[in-house]
Amino acid sequence: MSFTLGELLFWVGVFAVIITAVMLFLAKDRIKSLPISFLQNYVGVLFLVSGAVKAVDPLGTAYKMEQYFAEFEATFSGTWLDFLSGLFPKLAEVSIGFSVVMIVFELVLAIMLILGTRLKTTSISFLLLVVFFTILTGFTYLTAYVPSGVNFFEFGSWGAFKETNMRVTDCGCFGDFIKLKPFTSFLKDIFLLIPGAIFIFARNQMHQIGSKKLRTVLSFGSIPIILIYCFSNYVWDIPGVDFRPFSIGKDVRTTKEIEMEAQANVQVTGYILTKKDEAGNTLETAEMSMDQYLKDYQKYPKAEGWSADQITSKPEIESTKISDFEVQTLDGNDATDNILFEEGYSIMVLAHKLKYDAQPVQIMVKDTITRLDTIQVNKDSMFIQESIVEIVEKEQSVDQYSWPEAYLETYKQVATPFINAAQEAGITCYEVVGLTDTKMLEAFKKEVGIDIPFYMADDILLKTIVRSNPGFVLWKDGKIIHKWHHNKLPSFEEVKNTYIK
């Protein structure tokens, strides 16, 4: 089941009306202003939904924040805000903690709004949070005007709006539950600034339900509950509700074929022409249809600084992350079809980041020095003979790999026995990892005792498929049958009896 933003806002309004009506019936004396009470309940329910769908998948929010931190670092580096650029790598290192704190803050704030807990703190916190969201969504939207290779603060070099220029494709406001266009997200946050201002200046008109002690207990007593729920969705298990395109039951093979066909049918309908000076500043833009461009393109020569960007029709089906499902062998050959068209059941082990450390060490190796001699047999024939002159020892630098002990134990105690049992039962097994050192992979396979093919893929794709490192996916004929967090992986015998028919 999927929602649009309009449908979500409608149902939020319905629940806000119900909550307000109940308050009027049970605690009418607490309602000082009906419109402001409704606004409290409306925004409170909206933030409950927004926080809840992110609490379902805290890692998803963390990954989104990592994207933002990386872009802010690149944006501020070398500018008048360069002193801030070093902050963002540090924030990226604690992105999951940042994510959980933000989710808890949003949900507790929603409860405080509905109950009317500590109105001054609540109203200021709400406004600050909306300002924070507005900065994120505004940055995302405005980067569409910033061509590749141009810094965000080089305002004179901004060009025409181009969606593919966006540094972050969506804000993650509602996780994977609803994907909003950046401009829609930005407008949403601009409008939320209105109740933010109202709560600041009309705080004395906001309702407060129950006693001060009850409001405090209900608001802050929810923190451990929310924390436990967040941890259950990434520390101990994968999310209990999966809004991502690679959900259980999804026919990835067929969906990818349909999406790729829709993309292939996209038509070029026109062009946006941009003229820039030598410094990269935009001087002039022009938009025209395909027919007009074919007729007049010679009037916009590249030698004079003109460049052309295509305007295309919308695909019949909007692409999802499934369109980006691409896997390659360790030597760089495409292996996507090998996986999607694997007949019968197969087990994919995924590790978006294999944790390891590499230290160069010096080792002694034997080097054989040879000599080639040309020996003439007769005047018409000769042959070359190779002979050993000397065997010497020399130093050679090689990488020695090590892995965190806990990570190795996850493989040795969980992954390896499961894979070995599956292979003995005739089930194809393989592992897909984020781009990494191929020599390390060979050493890792020996260390953990598994003998399966390894492939590589984009780490964001692997994070989307399963929120676990490593994670496990059972496939059948290009369809996802089930997937597990490494902490919840059952024995292969259980998997066989339950899922392999």
pLDDT tens sequence across 30-87: 999 999 999 999 999 999 999 999 999 999 999 889 988 988 898 888 888 888 888 9
Q: CA-CA distance, 39 to 63, in Å (whole number)? A: 32
What is the tens place of the pLDDT at every residue in 88-126?
999 999 999 999 999 999 999 999 999 999 999 999 999
Q: CA-CA distance, 498 to 489, in Å (whole number)? A: 13
Comparing 165 with 220, the larger pLDDT belongs to 220
Cα atoms in the Cβ-side hemisphere of radius 13 Å centred on 292: 11
Q: Give 188: exposed, middle or buried? Use CB within 10 Å, 0-12, 13-18, 19+.
A: buried
Tokens of 88: 């963002």
> Beta 328-329 vs 345-351: how paired, if at all?
unpaired
Of residues 369, 438, 368, 361, the one with CA closest to residue 396: 361
Q: Give 501: exposed, middle or buried? Use CB within 10 Å, 0-12, 13-18, 19+.
A: exposed
> What residue type is assigned to position 214 of the chain?
L
Q: Is residue 170 predicted with pLDDT exceeding 80?
A: no
**Confidence at residue 379, expressed as pLDDT on a 0 to 100 scale:** 65
For 274-290, b where at least 16 C-beta lie within 10 A, e where not — what string?
Answer: bbbeeeebbeeebebee
**Confidence at residue 365, expressed as pLDDT on a 0 to 100 scale:** 64
41 phi, psi to nearest 5 deg: -65, -40
Q: CA-CA distance, 422 to 491, in Å (whole number)? A: 10
Tokens of 129: 């949070």
The mean per-residue pLDDT over the stretch 378-390 comes to 70
Residue 473 has a CB neighbour count (10 Å cut-off) of: 21
Cα atoms in the Cβ-side hemisphere of radius 13 Å centred on 193: 10
Cα atoms in the Cβ-side hemisphere of radius 13 Å centred on 386: 3
Tokens of 87: 């902050």
- 472 forms beta bridges with 349, 484
Compute, in degrees rounded to 10, the torsion defined by CA atoms 18, 20, 26, 28: -150
- 419 forms beta bridges with none
Percentage of the chain exceeding pLDDT 90: 59
Distances (CA, A) of 85 to 98, 141, 363: 18, 21, 41
Q: CA-CA distance, 405 to 241, in Å (whole number)? A: 31
Q: Is residue 217 predicted with pLDDT exceeding 60?
A: yes
**Confidence at residue 171, expressed as pLDDT on a 0 to 100 scale:** 74
Q: CA-CA distance, 146 to 303, in Å (whole number)? A: 22
The mean per-residue pLDDT over the stretch 15-34 comes to 94
Where do we find the tokens 């501020």?
76
What is the tens place of the pLDDT at every residue in 171-195?
778 888 888 888 888 999 999 999 9
Sign of CA dihedral 125, 128, 134, 139: negative
Of residues 255, 246, 231, the one with CA closest to residue 317: 255
**Between vectors from CA 255 to CA 327 and to CA 478, what angle results, nearest 5°?**
55
Cα atoms in the Cβ-side hemisphere of radius 13 Å centred on 19: 23
Compute, in degrees rounded to 10, the torsion defined by CA atoms 68, 69, 75, 77: -170
What is the tens place of the pLDDT at every residue in 222-280?
999 999 999 999 999 999 889 899 999 999 999 999 999 998 888 888 888 888 887 77
Tokens of 23: 């308050």
Tokens of 14: 């319905």
> What residue type is assigned to position 141 of the chain?
Y
The mean per-residue pLDDT over the stretch 339-362 comes to 90
The mean per-residue pLDDT over the stretch 348-363 comes to 85
**3 state SS of 135:** helix
Range among 110-124, 284-298, 375-389 rated most confident:
110-124
The mean per-residue pLDDT over the stretch 379-407 comes to 77
- CA–centroid distance for 464 within its chain: 6
pTM of the model: 0.83
Q: Is residue 197 predicted with pLDDT exceeding 90?
A: yes
The mean per-residue pLDDT over the stretch 19-24 comes to 95
Determine which of 213-222, 237-246, 360-369 has the lowest per-residue pLDDT on average.
360-369
The answer to whether the CB of 443 falls within 8 A of the CB of 357 is no
Tokens of 352: 């978006």
Beta strands in 355-380 (DSSP E): 357-378
Comparing 156 with 201, the larger pLDDT belongs to 201
318 phi, psi to nearest 5 deg: -70, 135
Q: CA-CA distance, 169 to 162, in Å (whole number)? A: 12
**Confidence at residue 222, expressed as pLDDT on a 0 to 100 scale:** 96
